[in-house]
Structure 1
Amino acid sequence: MAEKGALLCFISALFFSSAFSRSLLHGSKTTVLDVSASIQKTLDVLSFDPQTETFQDLKTTTTTTTTTSSSSSSSFTLQLQSRDAIHKSSHRDYKSLFLARLERDSARVRSLNAKLDLAVRGIKRSDLKPVDTDGYEAKVEDLAGPIVSGMSQGSGEYFSRVGIGRPPKSQYMVIDTGSDVSWVQCAPCSDCYDQADPIYEPSSSSSYSPLTCDTQQCSSLDVSACRNGSCLYQVSYGDGSFTVGDFVTESLSFGNSGSVDKIALGCGHDNEGLFVGASGLLGLGGGSLSFPSQIKASSLSYCLVDRDSSSSSTLEFDSPEPADAVTAPLLRNRQVDTFYYVGLSGLSVGDQMLSIPPSSFAMDEAGNGGVIVDSGTSVTRLQTDMYNTLRDAFVKGTSGLPATSGVALFDTCYDLSSKKSVEVPTVAFHFPGGKSLPLPAKNYLVPVDSSGRFCFAFAPTSSAMSIIGNIQQQGTRVGFDLGNSVVAFSANKC
């Protein structure tokens, strides 16, 4: 009798295990998009009032230990907010807002590719013409250099609150993993764009200190010049935007997380172009002048909230990696140390791996190709052949959805106005060692208006370099373990 009971238990367990396996398989094949909730967010973002401040303002004093740029970093945490949560949109409808985002995004991608192309071809600063900086009294004729970031400031979609100087003055800063040089608009302004906070006044800070031309920080700039022994900087962007001013060191404060002294950054007196809302930029790239490099951070991580949400998340330095993180190799390009490359091995739609050879994701000896993870690019760009394979598989899996005309750079769109929710094939990134990161449906099927038109949020690129953008990163904590060369993806860790 006991043997019969044991057998029944074994059969039941086997049946349950089989059913559970089928459930997991089904869950990995498809995922559900909440159409109604997505459309509601497009309406909410236009009515959101950024005057209802969600960031805690910085205090003029801090009780935590201050570190210097020459020491190991402490654990810093900053709040992150989407662009539209602090800068009220002037757009009357969501479609025009979305198209403006895509236009900024395209300018950024062109600049990222231009930066890499110049580096791979070995073009030096002296080979390029200077940006016209009329109006800035410290202008010098030998300011010339490559496009160094790909960040037209208007495309900055995520901001952090940073205290500049001592006592600290709160400023909204764009966070950018595609840039190294941090900078802030400074008085006196030859030409400054509108920003949410008062222009930073260096004379009010006891920690402000100009850098001389013979310092390592000055010589590390892509574009620099001298005036009366002081270092000048220039950062130019792909759309013609630029910032020019004095290269200095300052104290940066991070709310209750503490502060750090002697951070090299630009004090911009002439800042022109598509700069909107933020006071400047916090460079999080891999170069020697980036903020993580200057504080000798062993890791950094961020989680990007939905851009159509007023909620916030965090940017963290030297915080522990979540135990359930999906990890992949962190690769570097010896031609451009700014970018963070990830070892991607494949893509899948549903439970089917796509016929894309792993070599398509690789970087060659010259520095061409590869896949970067970028916080400032919105839409993931894939080489055209890869994109076509991915798109065709997705279209095949969504044959029951009503197709509609494309929008801007999106060629695969659907009319979901009559749906409350839809089930779509799961798209997943695959990494060496059999690891994978399935994406939520809202991270690749996005609304482009408030009427129910949704588009597949990937795009082709003629460049050899592919980019994982922030739409695909939303809701996932992305960590860069700089010491161990690992990229970690942790779903739902905002």
Structure 2
Amino acid sequence: MSIMKNFLNVILILCVCLNWCFTEGAEEKESGKVDSYTFQVSSLFPSSSSSCTPSSKASNKKSSLRVVHMHGACSHLSSNKDARLDHDEILRRDQARVKSIHSKLLKNNADGVSKAKSTELPAKDGSTLDSANYIVTVGIGTPEHDISLVFDTGSDLTWTQCQPCLGSCYSQQEPIFNPSLSSSYHNVSCSSPMCGNHPSCNSVTSCRYRIRYGDGSATIGVLAKEKFTLTNSDVLEDVYFGCGENNTGLFNGAAGILGLGRGKLSIPSQTTTTYNNIFSYCLPSSASNTGHLTFGSAGISESVKYTPISSFPSSSLYGIDIVGIRVGDKELEITPTSFSTDGAIIDSGTVITRLPTKVYAEMSSVFKEKMSSYKTTSGRSILDTCYDFTGLATVTIPTIAFTFSGGTVVKLDGIGILYQITQSQVCLAFAGDDDILAIFGNVQQTTLEIVYDVAGGRVGFAPNGCS
């Protein structure tokens, strides 16, 4: 009896101990104190499966459309499901975009001409198009003509290629929009307040626009109005957009740009009375998953934490204030002057997050220290902290969390910390650069719900935005 009693006591103590340990771990995880992620190396790379996993968040919304990868398992447009990424080209174009943003700030020249509803568009990860941006499909004109557009928080004017191409048009996947076949299309006159004092108005009656991007690509055409169909129940009349007649560059099969900036010609600004100048999105974790782009406030997570929009970098871009960064359990030495030169923005079109050189150097150093048990390898383009995971089933990496003004702490998803080139070259998805402002890029935004409450002057973040 005594032996049995002692045995039961040992079991009781063991159970109490195990319960305490698991509870401690759960409480630590819940409080956000976990300082590392452990995951399967295979989860970093595209699956060979042809199955598509839809976003449950988007699927549960009345006006939801799927977010699909152009060449992924979810796409109905792709003719080549095995299209390979050209990472050098992605990173080269990313750097060109960053320089373009910097140039725009120097010239102080934003894109454009010199109870609310909610709806969703399909956001498609275009990274296999060598751009690593995300696209949405919308209907334009009457009858409706579907086009895929790169959605971009760094641009204001929405534009698409139009027939006839008076100069040149690049190759796109869908047929080019022909305004002469649409009964709802009409040009905007030079006298329109939306046109401004454009030089070409001295010789023509229609307002014209010209946009040139950092990589040398450009679009030139007429400013027009047209009907845009987002979903069957969400149709926008008389939307200002650019009808591109002379377009050059590599837009990777997309028909143009959907502008989500803060300027007067952006879609959020034009639809203020309908959607209260609020939109949100979740960028999918892989080509086999979907995400969503949502206009309006319906369905926004209750766990969203907001930080004020700073207008310091530009009245068109979405400025944010980074006040802290934590790598694992280590807080980086960030002072009030660390980001003071140019500030910071959040941008859907920039791939790799850019940080001031000194801040990035400390981040890289701490990350390397915590990854000292893994084999390092050579860098790639702007990425210099890289590892060889060949032969490994799992890896453990330190968490990375950003603190924004107002005390908002955003812990990155594990997939938002690394940039995967091959299993023998997986890199920290950050770069240092003192020649530009800091940019919170789209790799870091992956799987987060990002909310742009423009009317409220704030940007919000919540975890698990796609599922």
Q: Could you say which TM-score interval applies, normalised by the shorter chain?
A: 0.7 to 0.9
Moved more, 223-232 or 371-380: 223-232
Structure 2 Cα separation of the partners of residues 408 and 81 of structure 1: 28
Structure 1 Cα separation of the partners of residues 376 and 302 of structure 2: 40
1:239 to 190, 203, 215: 215
- 2:412 matched residue in structure 1: 439
Give the % identical residues: 34
Q: Is the 8 A contact 1:328 1:344 kept in 2?
A: no
Query: In the TM superposition, what is the alpha-carbon distance from 1:80 to its structure 2 partner?
Result: 3.1
2:86 to 93, 97, 115: 97
- 2:318 matched residue in structure 1: 340
> Cα–Cα, structure 1 residues 310 and 107, in superposed 2: closer, same or farther, change >3 Å?
same
Whether 1:309 and 2:287 are equivalent positions in the alignment is: yes
1:110-148 per-position Cα deviation (integer Å, ceiling 9, x unaligned): 1111111222xxx899xxxxxxxxxxxxxxxxxx97xxx
Letter in 2 for 1:484: G
Q: Is the 8 A contact 1:330 1:480 kept in 2?
A: no
Structure 1 Cα separation of the partners of residues 159 and 346 of structure 2: 22
Aligned-partner SS, 1:218: coil
Structure 2 Cα separation of the partners of residues 483 and 23 of structure 1: 34
Aligned-partner SS, 1:337: coil
> Cα–Cα, structure 1 residues 287 and 124, in superposed 2: closer, same or farther, change >3 Å?
closer
Whether 1:228 and 2:234 are equivalent positions in the alignment is: no
Whether 1:106 and 2:99 are equivalent positions in the alignment is: no
- 1:300 matched residue in structure 2: 279
Whether 1:259 and 2:235 are equivalent positions in the alignment is: yes
Structure 2 Cα separation of the partners of residues 184 and 374 of structure 1: 21
Letter in 2 for 1:104: R
Letter in 2 for 1:31: Y
Query: In the TM superposition, what is the alpha-carbon distance from 1:93 to its structure 2 partner?
Result: 8.2
Structure 2 Cα separation of the partners of residues 371 and 473 of structure 1: 15
Query: In the TM superposition, what is the alpha-carbon distance from 1:432 to its structure 2 partner?
Result: 3.3
Structure 1 Cα separation of the partners of residues 25 and 90 of structure 2: 44
- 1:283 matched residue in structure 2: 259
- 1:80 matched residue in structure 2: 67
Structure-to-structure mapping, 1:93-492, within 5 angstroms: 94=84, 97-119=86-108, 155=131, 157-190=133-166, 191-219=168-196, 225=201, 227-296=203-272, 297-306=276-285, 308-320=286-298, 321-333=300-312, 336-362=314-340, 369-449=342-422, 451-492=423-464
Structure 2 Cα separation of the partners of residues 182 and 376 of structure 1: 14
Instruction: Provide runs of 4+ in structure 1 moved above 6 Å.
Output: 11-14, 89-93
Structure 1 Cα separation of the partners of residues 270 and 65 of structure 2: 17
Structure 1 Cα separation of the partners of residues 318 and 104 of structure 2: 14
Aligned-partner SS, 1:178: coil
Moved more, 435-444 or 12-21: 12-21
TM-score (norm 1): 0.78
Q: Is the 8 A contact 1:79 1:161 kept in 2?
A: no
Aligned-partner SS, 1:302: strand
Query: In the TM superposition, what is the alpha-carbon distance from 1:448 to its structure 2 partner?
Result: 0.8
Structure 2 Cα separation of the partners of residues 101 and 284 of structure 1: 22
- 2:34 matched residue in structure 1: 28
Structure 1 Cα separation of the partners of residues 246 and 386 of structure 2: 42
Structure 2 Cα separation of the partners of residues 471 and 438 of structure 1: 13
Letter in 2 for 1:339: L
> Cα–Cα, structure 1 residues 270 and 239, in superposed 2: closer, same or farther, change >3 Å?
same
Q: How many residues align?
A: 422
Give the unaligned 5+ runs of structure 2. Answer: 1-12, 56-61, 115-128
> Cα–Cα, structure 1 residues 220 and 417, in superposed 2: closer, same or farther, change >3 Å?
farther
Q: Is the 8 A contact 1:178 1:283 kept in 2?
A: yes
Query: In the TM superposition, what is the alpha-carbon distance from 1:439 to its structure 2 partner?
Result: 1.4
Give the unaligned 5+ runs of structure 1. Answer: 1-7, 56-74, 126-143, 146-152, 363-367
1:210-232 per-position Cα deviation (integer Å, ceiling 9, x unaligned): 111111111187x8645431111
1:374-414 per-position Cα deviation (integer Å, ceiling 9, x unaligned): 11111001111111111111111111111111111111111
Query: In the TM superposition, what is the alpha-carbon distance from 1:463 to its structure 2 partner?
Result: 2.6
Query: In the TM superposition, what is the alpha-carbon distance from 1:277 to its structure 2 partner?
Result: 0.7
Aligned-partner SS, 2:367: helix
Query: In the TM superposition, what is the alpha-carbon distance from 1:88 to its structure 2 partner?
Result: 5.2
> Cα–Cα, structure 1 residues 25 and 180, in superposed 2: closer, same or farther, change >3 Å?
closer
Cα RMSD (Å): 3.3
Q: Is the 8 A contact 1:32 1:421 kept in 2?
A: yes
Letter in 2 for 1:81: V
Whether 1:37 and 2:43 are equivalent positions in the alignment is: yes
> Cα–Cα, structure 1 residues 355 and 404, in superposed 2: closer, same or farther, change >3 Å?
same
Query: In the TM superposition, what is the alpha-carbon distance from 1:483 to its structure 2 partner?
Result: 1.8
> Cα–Cα, structure 1 residues 165 and 391, in superposed 2: closer, same or farther, change >3 Å?
same
Letter in 2 for 1:115: K
- 1:133 matched residue in structure 2: none
Structure 2 Cα separation of the partners of residues 112 and 229 of structure 1: 31
Query: In the TM superposition, what is the alpha-carbon distance from 1:318 to its structure 2 partner?
Result: 1.1
Q: Is the 8 A contact 1:157 1:376 kept in 2?
A: yes
Query: In the TM superposition, what is the alpha-carbon distance from 1:257 to its structure 2 partner?
Result: 3.8
